[in-house]
Amino acid sequence: MDYEKIAQQILQLVGNKQNIISVNHCFTRLRFQLKDNNKANREKLLQTEGVISVVESSGQYQVVLGNKVTKIYDALLPLIGEINSIKQEQPKVSIGIKILNAFAAIFTPIIPAIAASGMLKGILAIAVIIGNYYSTDIKTYNTYIILHAASDAVFYFMPIILGYTAAKVFKAHEFISMIIGATLCYPSMVSLMTSKSEVTFFAIELTKANYTSSVIPIIIAVFILSYIQRFLEKIIPEVLKIIMVPTFSLLIMIPATLLIFGPIGIYIGEFINWIYYYIMGVSPILLGAFIGGVWCILVIFGAHRAIVPIGINDVAQTGRQNLLAFAGAANFAQAGAAFGVFFKTKNKNLKTVAASATVTALFGITEPAIYGANLRLKRPMICAVICGAIAGGLMGWGGSYGNAFANQGVLTIPVYAEAGTKAFLCYLIGIGFAFFGSCIMTMIVGFNDIPNEEASKTVETTSSTQLTSDTAIVSPVAGEVIALDQVKDEAFASGAMGKGIAVYPRVGEIVAPEDCTVTALYPTLHAMGIKLDNGIELLIHIGIDTVNLQGKYFQSYVHAGQHITKGTKLVSFDIDKIKQQFDLTTSIIVVNSEQYKNIEYCQQAQVSITDNLLVIHV
């Protein structure tokens, strides 16, 4: 199917991109907010390949496309271009989460380059040790100097690199942002800002600082640039924008960065480092134990990204960091706990997952160990936290540190050799204890093992099971039964999205009708998709136009990709508050209806969550 062609036809028939105020997708449909609905040609849209139905609801023009909606939506966006009001419906998040997400988006693209530089530094460290053993200083060799430059360049030119990634996040001009970063690293600028004499800009004294390898100043500068750029684009005539917007952006932002945002960024960075190292000075054992214990917990929530810049900044400024030494204790502990699961479990599938997760964790990738074994079984996770904390405390006591920002695994052990005999031995003993200690502790403490049949129901191993006989499905919600053709939403009532039935709920919760996997959970929580273990796929849509609540009055208890058992609560909602604004009729659709001979509907007036709602005939 040519998704781009379908997207082009839809765009043409709804008017053109100038007619679109906003567009998003919700499970099986595209939802257009149009300036002029009369321009949309309903009959021609219905004849378009892939279009199941066209519905006008709540002032929106909705094109029902079924399971192909995401691919068509992705093909549609480039054709529309930049529309400020285009956005997918998402729940509101706090300013703290927004900042955390922004930092993650800025740093994530450059982590591979930083990790590669760290690996190269580790190789060079081994080479130096070998050279010293043979009484040879390889640091004077041209080859070493070139490779050392390659390993250090990403840190030295960090403002330029972050200028680009921050511009992508804040939607500023990428190359203007990079020029600001390059200005901070320019050789004559570095010489000027590190000289002993006073530095002025139009007779205004500048705060002197070396911005090479800095992190926070350029991020703040690009954030402000994004607003300056948008302001300039509004006031400068179209014919002059291509020249004058970049020119005025630089004329405004270079002085502003050197006078205001640069010093602020430097002070913020110094303050964060001061707190970190103040705690380090009070008790390096406590700091090491804290990071070693909670690092992988922070990974679960993505919160570890908030403190990663400390390690990056330390390497950039001083050429060493201890943050990732302590984090290494956590990584090796996760590997050890997964290894303990491998020895202890009787489940073949879990044994395979634990074995592969152990290997990946030893190379610094802990997510398979965390989600595949340790967190899933709970006790191994606790063992890993305890052993990671003890190992981190030992490293803190020994003064362990690395000479590069390197992923914490077996390949980067040489990075920590430069710290000296005591510090390096404490690092080696620490990671050894973290691994073997958590492995042995997991085997001793044990865990509630997963039966073979349950383990096979993970997302990775779940496979579609074809029905061999007629099957009844109980209702996922208790309430009054309503025929699907009576639902006041044409997309459901027409059966275009699949056969099914509706229930007006009397209890504000949706439960799993059978053992199943949550295939989709919309951010506003008003709709979800589940796939039963017998292969039946259901769409449960709570109410009509309740997407407009943006998740208000809803609460979820599961996540997409999770396998759950019959009766597990999926979503709860406040009936009394929602029904004041919206029709709560809940549609239960068999999405893959075409695979079955017939679907019989419940004839009862009322159902509970233990009553049969649908019978699938094969």
Predicted pLDDT of residue 59? 58
pLDDT in the model for residue 462:
40
Kindly tell me if the per-residue pLDDT of 420 is higher than 90: no
Q: What is the pLDDT of residue 372?
A: 67
Which of 275, 246, 242 shows the shortest CA–CA distance to 172?
Answer: 246
Across the chain, what does the average pLDDT equal? 81
- Distances from the Cα of 19 to the Cα of 45, 57, 553, angstroms: 16, 17, 33
**Is residue 504 scored above 60 in pLDDT?**
yes
pLDDT at 461: 40
Helix 158-170 / helix 216-235 crossing angle, nearest 10 deg: 50
pTM, entire model = 0.47
pLDDT for 294-308, tens place per residue?
Answer: 887 776 554 565 566
Q: What confidence score (pLDDT) does residue 448 get? A: 80
- Tell me which residue has tokens 């703040």: 220
Sheet holding 612-617, edge to edge: 471-474, 612-617, 598-601
Q: Which run of H or of E encompasses 595?
A: none
Tally of CA atoms within 13 A in the half-sphere of 205 that contains its CB: 4
d(CA 383, CA 395): 18
State the first-to-last Cα distance of the chain, in angstroms, to the nearest integer: 28
Question: Of the given ranges (79-93, 166-180, 514-528), which has the lowest mean pLDDT?
Answer: 79-93
Q: Quick one: average pLDDT of 167-184?
A: 92
Q: Which helix (H) or strand (E) holds 76?
A: helix 69-80
Least confident of 56-65, 164-173, 475-484, 582-591: 56-65
Task: List all residues 6 or more positions away from 82 whose beta carbon is below 8 Å from its beta carbon.
Answer: none
Tell me how long the chain is. 618
DSSP 310-341: HHHHHHHHHS-BSHHHHHHHHHHHHHHHHHHH
Given a contact cutoff of 8 angstroms between Cβ atoms, the answer to whether 210 and 187 are in contact is no
Confidence of residue 419 (pLDDT cuts 50, 70, 90): confident
Is 80 exceeded by the pLDDT of residue 544?
yes
Q: 53 forms bridges with which residues in the sheet?
A: 64
Q: Compute the distance between CA of residue 118 and CA of residue 107 in angstroms, rounded to an integer.
A: 15
**What distance in Å separates the CA atoms of residue 380 and residue 382, rounded to the nearest whole number?**
5
Cite the active site residues. 26
- pLDDT digits 0-9 by tens, 570-593: 999 999 999 888 899 999 988 888
| 123-167 residue pLDDT tens | 787 788 788 888 888 988 999 999 989 988 887 898 999 999 999
Flag whether pLDDT at 16 surpasses 90.
Answer: no
334-338, 415-419, 420-424: least confidently modelled range: 415-419
Backbone angles phi, psi at 34, to 5 degrees: -110, 150
Residue 175 has pLDDT above 90, yes or no: yes
- Select from 540, 613, 548, 600 the least CA-distant residue to 570: 540
Say if residue 94's pLDDT is above 70.
Answer: no
> Which residues are within 8 A (CB) of 430 and not within 5 positions of it... i.e. 6 or more apart?
292, 325, 328, 329, 391, 392, 394, 395, 398, 400
Name every residue whose Cβ is closer than 8 Å to that of residue 119 and which is 6 or more positions away in sequence: 406, 407, 411, 412
- The residue type of 510 is I
Identify the DSSP state of 609: T
Which of 239, 240, 220 has its CA nearest to residue 228?
220
Tokens of 595: 């695979």
From the list 242, 533, 289, the residue with the least C-alpha distance to 393 is 289
Structural domains in the chain, sorted by start: 3-80 (3.30.1360.60), 141-279 (no CATH), 323-445 (no CATH), 471-617 (2.70.70.10)
d(CA 315, CA 321): 6
- List of residues 6+ apart from 502 with CB closer than 8 A: 481, 482, 483, 484, 486, 487, 492, 585, 586, 587, 588
Tokens linked to 309: 């810049």
In the structure encoding, which two tokens stand for residue 367, read together?
Answer: 């997510």
- Block residue for tokens 């007036």: 605
pLDDT per residue as tens digits for the range 234-287? 999 888 888 999 999 999 999 999 999 888 877 776 676 677 778 778 888 988
- In the prediction, which pLDDT does 402 show? 79
> Residues 209-215: what's their mean pLDDT?
79
pLDDT for the residue 302: 47
The DSSP result for 192-231, as a single string, is: HHHSSS--EETTEEPPP---TT--HHHHHHHHHHHHHHHH
Choice between 516 and 377, residue whose per-residue pLDDT is larger: 516
CB atoms within 10 A of CB 245: 20
Lowest-confidence range among 52-66, 226-240, 580-594?
A: 52-66
Residue 196 CB contacts under 8 Å (≥ 6 apart), including other chains: none
Contacts of 28 (CB under 8 A, 6+ apart): 52, 64, 65, 66, 67, 69, 491, 497, 539
Residues forming beta bridges with residue 270, ordered by sequence position: none
